[in-house]
Amino acid sequence: MLVLVLDTATPAITAAVASVTDTVEVLAERVTVDARAHGELLAPSIDAVLHEAGATPPDLAAVVAGLGPGPFTGLRVGLVTAAALADTLDIPAYGVGTLDALGWAATGRVAATGRVLVATDARRREIYWAVYEDGKRLAGPAVDRPAELTLDVEAAVGDGALRYADVLGVPVRDMPRYPPAAGLAALAAPRVREKAPSEQLVPLYLRRPDAVEPGAPKAVTR
């Protein structure tokens, strides 16, 4: 079965086509890092990976999308696109935590790595973070200032960890920096194989957006 994999929870706009059988194989993947162009770059990336994989939208059996945490605007682009494609093609959509995909890549495939902090950039001098061991999440997800974290981990990965390597106080690995399509597809694979019902793609923001509804107008007195 072919699945389309999308993630826009970080500055990396990720689109991929993966084959899910007894194993998971990424057939085509495009990752473009641009924190301000998720809306402009995602659709062309989808077209590109479908073409590279020799597939068309009707060939897809499911859509897999990263749920975040991530900044409001970028994350929403990927989830709205995934939901719209799933609805149009009448195929299921499945969500995977973006940090979970990084945790899978950092600890799920490597033996005896110990506990690893996974962190992405949350802006405002904060990080979205979680702790993993053997591919399983032990703590988080949460959002905090990196200097305020006191965690028992052996290393850290992710764009947020690299940005704040000087204050985290643990060794920081260069890779993985952004959530890999292979991790997103692997974590969704059991649902794909079982042809599980489609899921509502609920974004994980961890904090309220900056924009708020305006209050009631003030009364005018003379």
Mean pLDDT, residues 30-50? 96
Report percent pLDDT > 90 for the chain: 84
Residue 28, C-beta contacts closer than 8 angstroms, at least 6 positions apart: 16, 17, 48, 49, 50, 52, 53
217 falls within a domain: no
Give me the domain span that covers residue 58: 2-97+179-194
pLDDT reported for residue 220 = 55
DSSP 9: S
13 and 74 share one domain:
yes
88 and 8 share one domain:
yes
pLDDT reported for residue 114 = 87
pLDDT reported for residue 212 = 47
Q: Is pLDDT of 25 > 80? A: yes
127 and 141 share one domain:
yes
Residue 138, C-beta contacts closer than 8 angstroms, at least 6 positions apart: 115, 130, 131, 132
Q: Which of 217, 198, 215, 208 is nearest to 92 (CA)?
A: 198
Measured in degrees and rounded to the nearest 5, phi and psi for residue 2 equal -95, 135
Under 8 Å between Cβ of 121 and 11: yes
pTM across the whole model: 0.90
- 213 falls in which pLDDT band (50, 70, 90)? low
Q: Per residue in 58-101, pLDDT tens?
A: 999 999 999 999 998 899 999 999 999 999 999 999 999 999 99
pLDDT reported for residue 215 = 56
Residue 215, C-beta contacts closer than 8 angstroms, at least 6 positions apart: none
62 and 24 share one domain:
yes
Pick the more confident residue, 3 or 150.
Answer: 3
Amino acid at 16: A
One DSSP character per residue, 36-49 reads T-HHHHHHHHHHHH
Q: What is the CATH number of the domain that holds 126?
A: 3.30.420.40
Q: Is pLDDT of 221 > 70? A: no
CA gap 24, 47 in Å, rounded = 21
- Domains held by the chain: number: 2
pLDDT reported for residue 113 = 66
157 falls within a domain: yes
